[in-house]
Amino acid sequence: MHGRGGEDGTLQGMLELLGLPYTGSGVMASALSMDKLRSKLLWQGAGLPVAPWVALTRAEFEKGLSEEQKARISALGLPLIVKPSREGSSVGMTKVVEENALQGALSLAFQHDDEILIEKWLCGPEFTVAIVGEEILPSIRIQPAGTFYDYEAKYLSDETQYFCPAGLEASQEAALQSLVLQAWKALGCTGWGRIDVMLDSDGQFYLLEANTSPGMTSHSLVPMAARQAGMSFSQLVVRILELAD
């Protein structure tokens, strides 16, 4: 199950109350991973790289932004990415390339959550790295047909390309895997999942978000990485079940 109710700690809490084992992370790690703002705060506190951002609540938006908030947003520069804090699949997300488009992007994001993030746009390619138990699987480089990896690129477009191996140098792959493992452990995640990362024009990896219940069809990204690591789909499923609490 994906999204709200399925991977935000709600289902996990119910299963724990019923005494039923389940795959993936526990209640707290699932809730933190679904909450992009609190994930970023935790990662930042742990000294891990995240893109500069400004968080806004619905109440602040409806009241009208203060001059300080406007200045902080302006300092991020353009383009910007606006997203709900607790939503998945890039729902409610907008790339803002002109200042006069910001208001509409904020309104759209607030249709999906009471808390949103305005982030500095990162220019480089996006990567996702899967984790199964203590094993970090080979990274996947994502090349969307459009300007960024939005809902259409993820689920509707036939032009989005996925590269595994990702084409990184060995030292970059090692650095990426090390960063992902630190981010995973900082959130308290267990079992299996994915961490999404951007490589900016400065050559630095930046953490985007954690996914504690990724897709598991035969053509999904975790099985793709598992195949590159020599693990069949059936072997992957069995391994995930073995890790269940």
The annotated binding site for Mg(2+) is made up of 196, 209, 211
DSSP 101: G
What are the binding residues? 196, 209, 211
Which DSSP string corresponds to 140-208? EEEE-SSSS--HHHHHT-S--EEESS----HHHHHHHHHHHHHHHHHHT--SEEEEEEEE-TTS-EEEE
Task: Provide the CB-side half-sphere exposure for 186 (13 A, CA).
Answer: 23
Residue 230 burial (CB < 10 Å; 0-12/13-18/19+)? exposed
- The answer to whether the beta carbons of residues 95 and 108 sit under 8 Å apart is no
CA distances to 67, 98, 99, 118 from 78, rounded to whole Å, are 18, 7, 8, 11
Give residue 161's identity as a one-letter amino acid code: Q
